[in-house]
């Protein structure tokens, strides 16, 4: 698959490493088409509703069907790039990866996701649609506009060690991070457009995840 050739950038802005990759146009199109089909089907939307399992205060959250995850190549994208991330970051080869779930978040004006963590061992988020404009900050002199953004949070701010890593959503960007990494999604304003993202949780080899196991 073409996704196997995608470069992966690994950063360690504080403790745990974070990986950033670019989703292919093919994957983005398949995911968006799938979402559009589900949103037109009220029965299926209700059946796949995932909002009661999640922290967000958003318009709609629903899980991806396992058949779609497998046939679309989405599952393979996650498996391949997770393996690249952990090889580059930890120099360890992932031999087992079980995708627990993957879901879509449809966020509109004033929606938000409070500070939370995920289950499993590893998680991630990628962007399928973003508004042209997230709205202005009330205090226009601020150097960074958090509207519609994602902040990953770890520990406390200390010398040479920031506590947050701020991300401005861009269509096609996908980030991998450990499940325990706290994160928050801010609301946005002045837009009727959708901020659409896709996330997942997965288990990997216990001997890789367990930092306190035998060396």
Where does the pLDDT of residue 2 fall: very low under 50, low under 70, confident under 90, or very high at 90 and above?
A: very low
The residues spanned by each domain of the chain are 9-207
Asked whether the beta carbons of 79 and 96 are under 8 A apart, the reply is: no
Residue 10 structure tokens: 């690994």
Please provide the CATH number assigned to the domain covering 9-207.
2.60.120.620
Residue-wise pLDDT for 20-32, tens only, equals: 999 999 999 999 9
Residue 130 structure tokens: 């973003």
For range 172-194, the mean pLDDT: 94
For range 29-56, the mean pLDDT: 93
- pLDDT, residue 138, reads 80
Question: How many whole angstroms separate alpha carbon 93 and alpha carbon 163?
Answer: 29
Residue-wise pLDDT for 138-160, tens only, equals: 887 877 889 999 999 998 888 87
């Amino acid at each position: 698959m073409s996704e196997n050739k995608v470069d992966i950038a690994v950063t360690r802005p504080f403790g745990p490493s974070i990986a950033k990759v670019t989703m292919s146009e093919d994957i983005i199109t398949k995911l968006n088409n799938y979402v559009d089909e589900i949103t037109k089907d009220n029965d299926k939307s209700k059946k796949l509703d995932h909002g009661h399992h999640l922290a967000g205060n958003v318009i709609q959250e629903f899980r991806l069907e396992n058949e779609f995850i497998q046939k679309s190549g989405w599952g393979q994208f996650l498996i391949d790039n997770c393996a690249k991330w952990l090889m580059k970051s930890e120099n360890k080869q992932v031999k087992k990866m079980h995708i627990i779930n993957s879901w879509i978040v449809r966020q509109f004006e004033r929606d938000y996701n409070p500070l939370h963590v995920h289950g499993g061992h590893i998680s991630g988020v990628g962007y399928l649609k973003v508004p042209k404009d997230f709205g202005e900050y009330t205090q226009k002199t601020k150097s960074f506009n958090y509207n519609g953004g994602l902040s990953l949070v770890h520990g406390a701010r200390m010398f040479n060690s920031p506590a947050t890593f701020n991300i401005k959503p861009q269509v096609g960007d996908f980030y991998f991070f450990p499940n325990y990494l706290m994160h928050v999604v801010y609301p946005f304003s002045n837009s009727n457009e959708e901020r659409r993202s896709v996330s997942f949780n997965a288990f990997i080899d216990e001997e890789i995840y367990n930092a306190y196991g035998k060396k």
